[in-house]
Amino acid sequence: MRAFEERILHERAQQAIETLRSCCICPRDCEIDRYNNKIGVCKSGRLARVASAFPHFGEEDCLRGWNGSGTIFFGWCNLRCVFCQNFETSQFGEGAEVTPAELAQMMLDLQETGCHNINFVTPEHVVPQILEALVIAVERGLRLPLVYNTSAYDSIESIHWMAGIVDIYMPDFKLWDAEHCRKYLVASNYAEAARAVIAEMHAQVGELKVDENGLALRGVIVRHLIMPGLLDDTHEIMSWIAENLSRDTYVNVMDQYYPAHKAETEPRFAEINRAISGDEFCGALDLARNAGLWRFDSRWRRVIPRGAPVWLPQLRVHQDPRVSAG
């Protein structure tokens, strides 16, 4: 609200949209004229593509509460994760392009439904479009906390634009080793970029703070998906979080990896064409604890979703395979 009232939000939105003319919104630095719908790695032009928008009950308890987290899933992605479990959205671009006014209305509809926050999923490549839509949404009454739910393959400039606007940053920290990043994410500089932007996120909002009902108000939540055979990466990531952010960082050590997309179909990724073992999951938790971390996500609130999802009529309802009602 302060950023809107002081017209900071307006100015940042205008600046960000102008940078689309030679896009460096993410670490790819394509320098493509997205403003005039030229297409770079993220395959996105002037408008954001949205796959779905609905109250999500599969997120962390502190986000989903009892009415759900108001998630807006953006189409396309600036990574090429070979194991992506939502590849229809990230790699094939399911969904439809939306105007700033339409994107703003989606936020307002989710607020009207009773969601506890607005959760931007895969926003890395559409930060200018989000800022542009927020100007409209806030003017029309948007008052919910904003969640920036990202792969962490963001540019520092994008995260600077979000300072004082985003309340809760929720970055993944996927992999550490540069060769693993090259092979599995098709971005050898991923870990370097992730370290820089996650540190900046923490500098902006600090450790996660919740209200008396356990709902997130402000802070950083770091997600890490355990990968089969890659616990060395987990070790480095957990150690870095504890040493460079805080031992009080809220961490979700995620065990729901399963082979999807190219990891399931291409022989060159045979080593990750399996689920993780129980020993790997326990080992990952031990690595996190040994690093000094202690605030781990655990489910304690059973929620039964109510009401229909909110979505644009031309979009199908997206159901993440990891979502459950429990």
pLDDT in tens, 251-302: 999 999 999 999 999 999 999 999 999 999 999 999 999 999 999 998 776 6
pLDDT of residue 306: 56
Q: How far apart are CA 264 and CA 273, in angstroms?
A: 5
Q: What is the pLDDT of residue 236?
A: 98
The Cβ of residue 314 has, within 10 Å, a number of other Cβ atoms equal to 9
The model's pTM? 0.93
| Mean pLDDT value across residues 248-252 | 98
pLDDT tens digits, 124-135 = 999 999 999 999
- Check residue 319 and give its pLDDT: 38
pLDDT in tens, 167-177: 999 999 999 99
Q: DSSP alpha helices (H): ranges in the chain?
A: 2-5, 8-19, 61-64, 87-90, 100-113, 127-139, 156-161, 178-185, 190-205, 231-240, 262-265, 278-290
Looking at the domain that runs over 2-296, which CATH code has it been given?
Answer: 3.20.20.70
Q: Is 17 exposed, middle or buried (0-12, 13-18, 19+ CB in 10 A)?
A: middle
Q: pLDDT tens for residues 193-244?
A: 999 999 999 999 999 999 999 999 999 999 999 999 999 999 999 999 999 9
Give the tens place of pLDDT for each residue, 100-141: 999 999 999 999 999 999 999 999 999 999 999 999 999 999
Both tokens assigned to 104: 């703003």
pLDDT of residue 326: 29
| Torsion 47-132-111-205 (CA) sign | positive
Regarding beta strands 118-121 and 146-150, do their DSSP bridges make them parallel or antiparallel, or are they unpaired? parallel
